[in-house]
Every structure is written in structure tokens, then in C-alpha cells.
Structure 1
Amino acid sequence: MEFEFIRNTLMGEYYVKCSMGHEIVGRWLQDEVGKDWQKIAQVEQLIENALANPQSEHLLEGTEITVSIVEDEVVVQENVLSHGEEMDADSEFDFYDCESTASCGLEDFSIMLEQWKSFLTTR
């Protein structure tokens, strides 16, 4: 998973761009976590719990996006997908679903979070 952090110095805003197929991860980091150090600490605790007990599912449900960790896989998914009705396999929403869920390795996810923290503290 490739990602890039962007800072708008005029507006004081931070943005995350992720590689194709991982856009939802960037949206989650930007919109659900952002510069909230308490949220960042919650995500770090989630990662620690997942490493300590990899057989269990570890969830962090956000307003619009949920992060789930099982073993060494992280799934980031729009909440509406887990609450909606089943769609046909060839549904016209397949492309939308592709942008609404993504998975990556726990190590990559941890690295991204650490680099985000570093990015927020550098000027």
C-alpha cells in the first residue's frame, strides 16, 4: 500500500492520498482519525491488542468507517456496507464497493500510522 501525506499550510489542513484500491484507508485516516491524538492512541491500542491476541477480531468502529484486525490483516470498510442488504455479484455498485473497502497487512497499517504521527508533528 502506497500513501502520501499532504499539508495545506495556508488552511492548516492535512490530507492523505493512498494508492488505488486503498482510498478508503486514506479517507479513514484523514476523516475519522485526523489530528485527534486520542483517536491515534485508540488505534495504537487496537494494534497492540491485535498483536497480543491475533486469533480474535479487533474492531474500531468510526462514524462512517470501521477498522477490523484479524491476525495480520486489516480491513477498512464503510459502515453502510456491513449494514446493507446483499447485492448481486454483478451489481452496478461493484466499483463503488471496491472504493469502500480495502485490506492491507498489519505491518503496513502500523507503519502508516507511525508516519502519520510523525507528519503531524513536523513543521
Structure 2
Amino acid sequence: MEFQFTRNTLMGEFYVKCSMGHEIVARWLQEEVGKELTKIDQVLAIIDQAKQNPMEEVRLEGKEISLSIHQFDVIVEENVLGHEQELGDSEFDFYDSESTASCGLEDFLTMMEQWHQFITQGR
């Protein structure tokens, strides 16, 4: 997973762009975590917990997008997907690719550590 961080110095806003297929990860990072260091630390703690107990699924529910870690995989998906799957509605299958993404735990950890550093240096 490739990613790039940018900052609007006039507005004090931070942005992340991820490679195709991982757009939802960028949205999750911007919308659910943002520049709040306590949330970043919470995610880093969850990653540490997942690494210590790889057989347990660790989940962080967001307002619109949630994160789950199981073994060495990270899945980021819109919360609405669970409701669509319950209904059995396949009309939205095409859009699911932009609403869910997975990546390796180490890649995700690298992104989170670099995001933490980027936010800290930008303040």
C-alpha cells in the first residue's frame, strides 16, 4: 500500500492519499482519526494488542468507517457494508471495492507511525 501525506499550511489541515484500492484507508485516517494524537495513540495500542494476540480479532468502530485486525491483516470498511450484506443486496457490489480495503499489519503500522510523525512535526 502506497500513501502520501500533505498539509495545507494556511488552513492547518492534514491530508492522506492512498494507492488505488486503498482509498477507504485514506478516508478512515482523515475522518475517523485525523490529527488527534490520542486517537493515533489508541490505534497504535490496538496494533500492539493485535500483535500480542494474533488469534483474536481486534476491532475499532468508527462513526462511518471501522478498522479490524485479525492475525496479520488489517481490514478497513464502511459500516454500512454490514447492513447491505445482511439485506443480501448485490446492487452495490461494484462500489464495495471503494468501501473496503485490506493490507498487511506491518504496512499499516508503518503508515500510522509516519502519520503520527507527520502530524507532530506539522504542529
TM-score between the two structures when normalised by the length of structure 2: 0.93
Cα distance between partner residues in 2 of 1:83 and 1:47: 26
Deviations 1:58-112 (A, max 9, x none): 0000100110000000000000001222223xx3x22311000000000000000
Which residue pairs with 2:29 in the alignment?
A: 29
Which residue pairs with 1:122 in the alignment?
A: 121
Alignment coverage as a number of residue pairs: 120
C-alpha displacement of 1:14: 0.6
Q: How well do the aligned residues superpose, as a CA RMSD in angstroms? A: 1.0
Cα distance between partner residues in 2 of 1:82 and 1:33: 21
Structure 2 gap ranges (5+): none
Q: Does residue 87 of structure 1 match 2:86?
A: no
Whichever residue aligns with residue 121 of structure 1, its letter is T
Identity of aligned residues (%): 62
Structure 1 gap ranges (5+): none
